[in-house]
């Protein structure tokens, strides 16, 4: 069952602020938090998703301990020609994706993969760094459109790249792994944990 935010409960709370995160945590109950990231073949929301990663967490009742429940990493072919500028950033050429998909039984294309929305089925909150970009690609799954979403970037009050935000919070960064969806997901999760711990102390 997918949890939806209740506009009347959050009315007047600015989006992506600590106050909004506190509000979401109060409504979380025993549902999970899913932190996710996509790497794409361009910036347009119709660009193909080349990789998707997600990390599912649960909080203890005191919000001080995080438990990893599940994790997903998948790679997909693009429907349109490769975008050289995008591929130069994420390195996901067709041959790289073929290697990553070796033996994979999930669909060739992201929008056909029904296990993506299934991964979110018990989520009470979804989060990403620059979530408005990443969540736009989840729009191909109607059941995910009304989830509560939180942005670890906009919570900083300004545009801060993921590696910069992580270093500001004392989180170690391996620059060689940036723009890999799994690594970026883990960095965003560490940022979110820091924010939640601030609320809980």
Query: What sections of 70-145 are H helices per DSSP?
Result: 84-90, 94-100, 115-119, 131-138
Per-residue pLDDT of 64-112, as tens digits, reads 789 999 999 999 999 999 999 999 999 999 999 999 999 999 999 999 9
Instruction: Indicate the burial class of 103 (C-beta count within 10 angstroms; 0-12, 13-18, 19 or more).
Output: exposed
Tokens of 73: 């990493």
Q: What pLDDT does residue 122 have? A: 96
Among the ranges given (34-38, 155-159, 162-166, 178-182), the one the predictor scored with the smallest mean pLDDT: 155-159
Q: Which residue has the higher pLDDT, 50 or 2?
A: 50
Query: Is it the case that residue 187 has pLDDT exceeding 50?
Result: yes
Q: What is the Cα–Cα distance from 78 to 76, expressed in whole angstroms?
A: 6
In terms of phi and psi (left: phi > 0; alpha: psi -120 to 50; beta: otherwise), the region of 118 is alpha
Per-residue pLDDT of 128-173, as tens digits, reads 999 999 999 999 999 999 999 999 999 877 788 888 888 888 988 8
Q: Are 37 and 134 in contact (CB under 8 A)?
A: yes
Percent of the chain with pLDDT over 70: 94
Highest mean pLDDT (candidates 37-41, 61-65, 155-159): 37-41
Domains and CATH numbers, the chain: 7-200 (3.30.420.10)
Cα atoms in the 13 Å half-sphere on the side-chain side of 78: 22
Question: pTM value?
Answer: 0.90
Distance of CA 92 to the CA centre of its chain: 18
Distance of CA 89 to the CA centre of its chain: 18
Q: Are 77 and 96 in contact (CB under 8 A)?
A: no
Q: What pLDDT does residue 19 have? A: 92
């Amino acid at each position: 069952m997918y949890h939806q935010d209740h506009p009347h409960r959050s009315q007047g709370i600015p989006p992506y602020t600590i106050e909004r995160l506190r509000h979401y945590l109060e409504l979380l109950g025993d549902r999970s938090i899913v932190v996710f990231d996509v790497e794409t073949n361009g910036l347009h929301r119709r660009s193909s998703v080349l990789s998707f990663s997600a990390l599912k967490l649960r909080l203890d009742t005191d919000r001080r301990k995080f438990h990893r429940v599940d994790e997903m990493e998948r790679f997909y072919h693009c429907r349109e020609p490769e975008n050289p500028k995008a591929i130069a950033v994420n390195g996901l050429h067709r041959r790289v994706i073929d290697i990553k998909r070796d033996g994979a039984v999930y669909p060739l294309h992201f929008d056909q993969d029904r296990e993506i929305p299934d991964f979110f089925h018990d989520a009470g909150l979804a989060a990403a760094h620059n979530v408005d970009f990443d969540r736009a690609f989840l729009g191909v799954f109607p059941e995910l459109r009304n989830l509560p979403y939180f942005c670890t970037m906009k919570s900083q009050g300004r545009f801060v790249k993921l590696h910069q935000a992580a270093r500001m919070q004392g989180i170690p960064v391996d620059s060689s792994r940036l723009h890999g969806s799994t690594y970026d997901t883990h960095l965003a999760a560490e940022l979110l944990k820091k924010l939640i711990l601030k609320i809980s102390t």
